[in-house]
Amino acid sequence: MAAQQAEVAVATSHRQVLLKTRPDGVPKASDFEIVTVPVDPLPKGSLLVRNRWLSVDPAMKLWLGPPGAYMAPTPIGAVVPSYAAGEVIASDHPDFDVGDRLVGRFGWQEIVAVDPETIYWKVSYDDLPLSQSLGVIGMNGIAAFVGVNDICKPKSGETFVVSTAAGAVGSAAGQIAKLMGARVVGITGGPEKCRQCIEDFGFDAAVDYKSSEPLLDALKTACPNGIDSYLDLTGGSISDAVRHLITVGARIALCGTAAVPSWNPWPLGERVERHLLNKQALMQGYITSFQRHRWPDALQHLETWARDGGLVGREDILDGIDKAPGSIARLLNGENQGKLVIKL
């Protein structure tokens, strides 16, 4: 096969964001540096992708941080690992043509010589924004789908609760649970995000964990019949309060620990055993990137719902790769208003 080429002749250099120092806690802008480097030649049997959108995800703190996560930490000086969506600009691979739009683990850089192993999927639609392939029709949507559909399994009339409810995964999860017939209650920080949960995402109620009212009291009011299923995106004291209200046979899907600032030293907290035992409840963790067998089904549902208008994905868009270094802190400090993406 003759290699296909487009545009590369004019792009001789591009920018990358490198990890400069190992973050201590929330990654700061000064932990990164932006460098300009030559564009790699097209590798044999592979492809070059021009990233159009870079994803910013809470998990990046773990990927960049000290050892202890489910993958080895990024070496100092390496390109920051991230999900991204881009366009093939040169191909020497039989399965990919110039112009194909791909989602993968392409890193915070403008042009990438792609290892085909890092490609997640081809984006076949062009009637929905490509940026959504990183959010509501991407890994965030899949995380929501797996947690709600496979573990929480809300039934019609039951109460489903989700934390980080106005965020990328949380907002999608609440909408999916609504589509499955549940009464949906979101937990989020601040009155504006509570408003978004109800008015923008159609939840039945929202609880502000930052308000002066004790969270357990606010949850009792919002969930008078108890909590039948919970998508846990925070852990910590928020989830401690939720577990006090679970019903017999409740399902808890553990997806994130946004409320736990550090796992070194391993923090202590309320014990869960009696809640689970008394209520004969299930609590199950999962990692979306290891649920690859569920991606096609999830993506098919998410795309259909997004097209029908049943699933809304709010986006918080930063303009340009220069914004990347400070973006993880923005997310972890809760300043984002929806899925945080960087437009290139």
Q: Which residues lie closer than 8 Å to 110 by C-beta, 6 or more apart? A: 14, 15, 16, 50, 51, 321, 344
Cα 316 to Cα 110: distance, rounded to the nearest angstrom: 20
Q: CB of 298: closest distance to ligand NAP in angstroms?
A: 12
Asked, as a colleague might, if the bond just before 265 is cis with ω within 30 of 0, I would say yes
Cα 323 to Cα 331: distance, rounded to the nearest angstrom: 12
Site stretch for ligand NAP (CB under 6 A), options 28-36, 104-112, 253-261, 264-272? 253-261
State the residue number with the nearest CB to ligand NAP.
167
Residue 33 or 200: the one with the smaller Cβ distance to ligand NAP is: 200
**DSSP assignments along 62-123, one per residue:** HHHSSS-SSSPPPPTTSBPP--EEEEEEEE-STT--TT-EEEE---SBSEEEE-GGGEEEE-
Q: CB of 18: closest distance to ligand NAP in angstroms?
A: 23
Q: CB of 344: closest distance to ligand NAP in angstroms?
A: 20
**Of the residues 22, 128, 334, 343, which one makes contact with ligand NAP according to CB under 6 A:** 334
Site stretch for ligand NAP (CB under 6 A), options 97-105, 255-263, 274-282, 295-303? 255-263
**Of the residues 48, 143, 179, 306, which one makes contact with ligand NAP according to CB under 6 A:** 143
**Of the residues 233, 311, 329, 344, which one makes contact with ligand NAP according to CB under 6 A:** 233
| Nearest C-alpha neighbor of 258 from the set 137, 178, 163, 138 | 163
Cα 90 to Cα 5: distance, rounded to the nearest angstrom: 4
Residue 27 or 189: the one with the smaller Cβ distance to ligand NAP is: 189
Q: Which residues lie closer than 8 Å to 216 by C-beta, 6 or more apart? A: 241, 244, 245
Does residue 208 bind ligand NAP (CB under 6 A)? Answer: no
Cα 324 to Cα 19: distance, rounded to the nearest angstrom: 11
Residue 5 or 291: the one with the smaller Cβ distance to ligand NAP is: 291
Does residue 325 bind ligand NAP (CB under 6 A)? Answer: no
Q: Which helix (H) or strand (E) holds 195?
A: helix 191-195
Residue 53 or 96: the one with the smaller Cβ distance to ligand NAP is: 53
Q: CB of 25: closest distance to ligand NAP in angstroms?
A: 12
Residue 47 or 207: the one with the smaller Cβ distance to ligand NAP is: 207
Contact 92, 47 (CB under 8 A): yes
For residue 309 the two structure tokens come to 């208008």
Supply φ then ψ for residue 207, to 5 degrees: -120, 130
Q: How far is CA 278 from CA 115, 237, 241, 242, 247, in A?
A: 49, 20, 16, 15, 9
Site stretch for ligand NAP (CB under 6 A), options 14-22, 30-38, 43-51, 331-339? 331-339
* Segment 43 to 102, residues that bind ligand NAP, using CB under 6 A: 57-59
**Of the residues 193, 251, 301, 314, which one makes contact with ligand NAP according to CB under 6 A:** 193
Q: CB of 97: closest distance to ligand NAP in angstroms?
A: 30
Residue 155 or 210: the one with the smaller Cβ distance to ligand NAP is: 210
DSSP structure class, residue 137: T
Does residue 331 bind ligand NAP (CB under 6 A)? Answer: yes
**Of the residues 256, 298, 306, 344, which one makes contact with ligand NAP according to CB under 6 A:** 256
**Of the residues 60, 166, 185, 341, which one makes contact with ligand NAP according to CB under 6 A:** 166
Supply φ then ψ for residue 200, to 5 degrees: -90, -35
Chain contacts with ligand NAP (rule: CB under 6 A): 57-59, 140, 143, 164, 166-170, 188-189, 193, 233-234, 238, 255-259, 286-288, 331-332, 334, 336
